[in-house]
Structures are given as structure tokens and as C-alpha cells.
């Protein structure tokens, strides 16, 4: 990637990288991944294109880095849920964790929902994780689920993601959005009451 800029420190390096990713996410949201160039990112940051290349060699790498935190956390939630003994506890842990991720990564969720270019750009980030959406569905459907249950699960997952990333609800504070999404998710999954952690 070339030499590190003169005077750069590890903390400064990470700060620049974080600003670059935040800027990229904003531009991706405004123009789409395919409509955003590395030069546009550099201009918005007030740096040279070479400075962007120092951190990332391609736009796909930037897209992967933007998406990585949310994908990593979702993968962890699914793994944790799968390790729980009771089906009810697995469902509750997964639903709560999924809603929390959707709320905390609203801009990223909106980008996933609106821009197919994101999925085309994600290559290395998805290696080894291609099946976690399948694992999510299996946990929420449960061992005895029928077609109706599977439809309800897909409606819950898609509905939570689309609603959480919707501009229509962008003014809602995180707590209100989180509780509303949880309530709807529980109803769709047949678990209308919040249960205690570890309960079935």
C-alpha cells in the first residue's frame, strides 16, 4: 500500500481509517456503492486519492470494511443463540440481538436494503459466513416449524431489516425503534411477551 504518511501514529492511522469508512458509508448511502468513486471519497475527506489507497486498495475493500462490524456481530449472535439449550431461549436471544444490530447500524441496514451493489462488492467478508442467514432461519423456525412458521420468520427478518433502515422512521430514537421492532418481531414469531433471559 506504500509507506505510511510522515508523522502518522497508530492512533492517527485508526482515526483516519474510521473517518474514511464513515465518509464512505455516507457517500454510499447518497450515491450507491457503484456510483461512488475513490476520488469522491478522497475529496469528501479532503485528502488525496493516494491517501485513500494507503488504507484500502479497492472500493470493494472499503465496502467490506464498512459492512464488517455489523456482519461480525450478527455472526456472533447467531453462534451464541445456536449454543443455547432451549428453543425459546435461542429464539429470544437471536431476535433481541438481531433487532439491536439493526438499530445500531441503521445506515448500513438501509444501504443493504436499497443498494444491490453492496452484495456484489462483498467478497472476503462473506467467506465462511454465507450460511448464517440459513442458520438464523433454522433457529427461528425451530425443529417442528411448518410452512406457515417459515413464512412468519421470513416476514419478521425482512420486516425488521427494512423498517429499521427506512427513512420513514429515521427520526425515531433508538430505544423507541428497538422496542417497536421487538414487539412486532415477537408477535410474528408467536412470542408476544418478553421472557426472562435463559427461559424457554
Q: Which of 65-79, 84-98, 118-132 has the lowest mean pLDDT?
A: 118-132
Mean pLDDT to the nearest integer, 171-194? 89
CATH number attached to the domain at 66-188: 1.10.357
Burial class from Cβ neighbours inside 10 Å (0-12, 13-18, 19+) for residue 33 reads: buried
What distance, in Å, lies between the first and last C-alpha atoms of the chain?
A: 51
Integer angstrom CA distances of residue 151 from 101, 124, 144, 147, 158 = 22, 30, 14, 6, 11
What is the C-alpha to C-alpha distance for residues 24 and 41, in angstroms, rounded to an integer?
6
- Sorted by where each begins, the domain ranges of the chain are 10-57, 66-188
Half-sphere exposure of 141 (CA within 13 A, CB side): 17
DSSP type of residue 143: T
Q: Is the pLDDT of residue 136 over 50?
A: yes
The model's pLDDT over 81-122, given as tens digits with 9 standing for 90+, comes to 999 999 999 999 999 999 999 999 998 888 888 887 787 777
- The Cα–Cα gap between 25 and 39 comes to 14
CATH class of the domain at 10-57: mainly alpha
Q: What is the pLDDT of residue 36?
A: 93
Cβ-contact 122, 151 below 8 angstroms: no
Tell me what pLDDT residue 94 has.
96
- Please return the burial class of 166, using the count of CB atoms within 10 Å of its CB with bins 0-12, 13-18 and 19+: middle
Question: Do 66-188 and 10-57 have the same topology in CATH?
Answer: no
Q: Would you state the pLDDT for residue 4? A: 44
CA nearest neighbour of 24 among 58, 1, 72, 73: 58
DSSP string, 82-95: HH-SSHHHHHHHHH
Does this model's pTM top 0.85? My answer is: no
- pLDDT attached to residue 126: 61
1, 54 in Cβ contact below 8 A? yes
pLDDT score for 150: 93
Amino acid at each position: 500500500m506504500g509507506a505510511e504518511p510522515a508523522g502518522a501514529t497508530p492512533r492517527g492511522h485508526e482515526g483516519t481509517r474510521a473517518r474514511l469508512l464513515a465518509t464512505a458509508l455516507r457517500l454510499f448511502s447518497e450515491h450507491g456503492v457503484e456510483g461512488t468513486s475513490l476520488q469522491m471519497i478522497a475529496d469528501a475527506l479532503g485528502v488525496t486519492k493516494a491517501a485513500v489507497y494507503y488504507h484500502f486498495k479497492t472500493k470493494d475493500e472499503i465496502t467490506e470494511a464498512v459492512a464488517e462490524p455489523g456482519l461480525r456481530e450478527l455472526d456472533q449472535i447467531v453462534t451464541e443463540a445456536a449454543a443455547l439449550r432451549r428453543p425459546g431461549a435461542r429464539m429470544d436471544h437471536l431476535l433481541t440481538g438481531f433487532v439491536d444490530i439493526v438499530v445500531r447500524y441503521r445506515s448500513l441496514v438501509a444501504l443493504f436494503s436499497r443498494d444491490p451493489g453492496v452484495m456484489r462488492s462483498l467478497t472476503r467478508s462473506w467467506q465462511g459466513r454465507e450460511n448464517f442467514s440459513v442458520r438464523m432461519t433454522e433457529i427461528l423456525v425451530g425443529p417442528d416449524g411448518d410452512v406457515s412458521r417459515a413464512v412468519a420468520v421470513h416476514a419478521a427478518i425482512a420486516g425488521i431489516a427494512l423498517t429499521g433502515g427506512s427513512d420513514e422512521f429515521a427520526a425515531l430514537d433508538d430505544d423507541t425503534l428497538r422496542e417497536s421492532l421487538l414487539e412486532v418481531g415477537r408477535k410474528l414469531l408467536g412470542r408476544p411477551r418478553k421472557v426472562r433471559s435463559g427461559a424457554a
